[in-house]
């Protein structure tokens, strides 16, 4: 079994308030474009190193890994600021970088220690519901 | 509302004409009892699942962020954490066996490139007394409300429910960039094919395409 994550980027929805919609909707993808990354994640053949499908490759173009993932950016809070800036930049440029892009996620995503710790915690947290289900069976 | 009803009916008819079928089970991902009930029903009805799309997600907007509002679910977890991560985790545990029975089962987690925002420390139970800080639902802590915003991009954290079978690990992130989701979108959509019943498409929960970019 394969697990893949997908990013639709900015997509027109009706859940934003009116003021935000005025800014977002002219630049956001419509539903048929927004769904493409999810469909790609569901059906495209992926190599072992591809586990993230995005509708825009702007993150690759601007090399987020170079200036966001470092300790300096994280400790100083620069990462937060730059990421907000990236989100805004993405809104205005995503149409120029549209496509089904197979890529990777941030370095922290592959921290096996964090993954295992959170997995163990999550399993323990959801065990009561699983045990009730088992007992009913 | 009527538009969505019409779209939903049109979709059901379209799928029926194409030889498929739609099955609907509603779940509130802010309530793990509801998720468990949904998972139990789906696991019983569908012994094999080819594709599970975890599409539900939310983001605190300005109204929810008011101090008077409780950010905790009925289970005591933070609302975003439960809706975006723990609910999916529990549902996937219920459906894990069915996914493994499919020859090429796939789990798709809707997320966001915005996950780069966080370094994941709010999700690490080792750093906060064996509990991920992101899971704590306490609206009285203003600092936490800020931290909630910080962890949102990683509210779907890396570990999938199959720690050894899922290689490489994938990130489970927030489905939409900030400001694009809303608590009312705590719904999920699942599509796949059941074994021995021909081509079938089923939808779990009132998945509204226009609300989530679908």
pLDDT digits (tens, 9 = 90+) for A59-90: 889 888 887 877 888 888 888 788 888 888 99
Q: Which range has the worst mean pLDDT, A95-109, A123-137, B81-95, B106-120? A: B106-120
**R_g of chain A computed on alpha carbons:** 18
Nearest CA-CA distance, residue B118 and chain A, Å = 8
Inter-chain touch A114–B102, beta carbons under 8 Å:
no
Nearest CA-CA distance, residue A115 and chain B, Å = 5
pLDDT digits (tens, 9 = 90+) for A4-56: 888 888 888 776 667 777 888 888 888 888 889 999 999 999 888 888 899 99
In angstroms, the CA B164 to CA B159 distance is 10
Would you give per-residue pLDDT tens digits along chain B (214 residues)? 566 678 778 888 888 888 888 888 999 988 999 999 999 999 999 999 999 998 877 766 544 444 445 578 889 888 878 888 889 889 999 998 999 999 988 988 888 887 787 777 777 888 877 888 778 765 444 333 333 333 333 333 333 333 322 222 223 333 333 333 333 333 332 322 333 333 333 333 333 333 333 2
Inter-chain touch B210–A54, beta carbons under 8 Å:
no
In angstroms, the CA B82 to CA A23 distance is 30
* Helices and strands counted in chain A (H then E): 8, 3
In angstroms, the CA B161 to CA B169 distance is 10
The number of C-alpha atoms within 13 Å of B209 and in the hemisphere containing its C-beta is 18
In angstroms, the CA B96 to CA B118 distance is 28
Nearest CA-CA distance, residue B18 and chain A, Å = 19
Residue ranges of A 55-114 with Cβ closer than 8 A to chain B:
56, 58-59, 64, 68-69, 74, 79-80, 83-84, 86-87, 90-91, 105-106, 108-114
Using the CB atoms, write b or e for B96-116: b if 16+ within 10 Å. bebbeebeebbbbbbbbbbbb
Global pTM value: 0.76
Give pLDDT, residue B183.
Answer: 31
User: Which among A4, A108, A122 has CB closest to B106?
Assistant: A4
Domain boundaries, chain B: 29-190
Q: What is the ipTM of this complex?
A: 0.91
Size of interface A-B (CB pairs under 8 A): 228
Per the model's pLDDT, the better-predicted residue between A102 and B117 turns out to be A102
Q: Do residues B105 and B171 make contact, with C-beta atoms less than 8 angstroms apart?
A: no
């Amino acid at each position: 079994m394969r697990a893949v994550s997908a990013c639709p980027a900015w997509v027109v929805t009706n859940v934003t308030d009116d003021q935000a919609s005025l800014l977002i909707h002219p630049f956001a993808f419509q539903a048929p474009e927004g769904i493409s990354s999810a469909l790609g994640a569901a059906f495209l053949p992926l190599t072992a190193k591809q586990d993230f499908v995005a509708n825009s490759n702007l993150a690759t173009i601007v090399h987020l890994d170079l200036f966001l993932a470092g300790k300096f950016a994280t400790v100083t809070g620069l990462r937060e600021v730059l990421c907000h800036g990236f989100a805004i930049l993405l809104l205005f440029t995503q149409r120029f970088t549209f496509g089904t892009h197979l890529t990777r996620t941030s370095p922290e995503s592959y921290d096996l220690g964090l993954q295992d710790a959170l997995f163990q915690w999550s399993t323990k947290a959801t065990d009561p519901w699983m045990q009730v289900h088992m007992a009913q069976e | 509302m009527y538009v969505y009803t019409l779209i939903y009916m049109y979709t059901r008819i379209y799928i029926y004409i194409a030889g498929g079928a739609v099955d609907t089970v509603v779940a509130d991902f802010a309530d793990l009892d509801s998720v468990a009930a949904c998972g139990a029903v789906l696991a019983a009805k569908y012994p094999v699942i080819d594709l599970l799309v975890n599409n539900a997600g939310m983001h605190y907007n300005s109204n929810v962020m008011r101090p008077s509002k409780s950010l905790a679910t009925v289970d005591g977890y933070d609302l975003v954490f439960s809706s975006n991560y723990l609910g999916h985790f529990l549902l996937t545990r219920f459906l894990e066996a069915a996914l493994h029975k499919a020859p090429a089962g796939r789990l798709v987690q809707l997320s966001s490139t915005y996950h780069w925002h966080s370094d994941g420390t709010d999700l690490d139970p080792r750093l906060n007394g064996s509990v991920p800080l992101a899971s704590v639902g306490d609206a009285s802590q203003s600092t936490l409300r800020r931290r909630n915003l910080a962890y949102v991009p990683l509210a779907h954290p890396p570990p999938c429910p199959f720690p050894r079978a899922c290689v490489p690990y994938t990130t489970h992130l927030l489905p939409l960039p900030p400001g694009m989701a809303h608590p009312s979108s705590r719904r999920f959509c699942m599509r796949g094919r059941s074994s021995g019943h021909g081509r079938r498409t089923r939808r779990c929960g009132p998945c509204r395409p226009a609300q989530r970019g679908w």
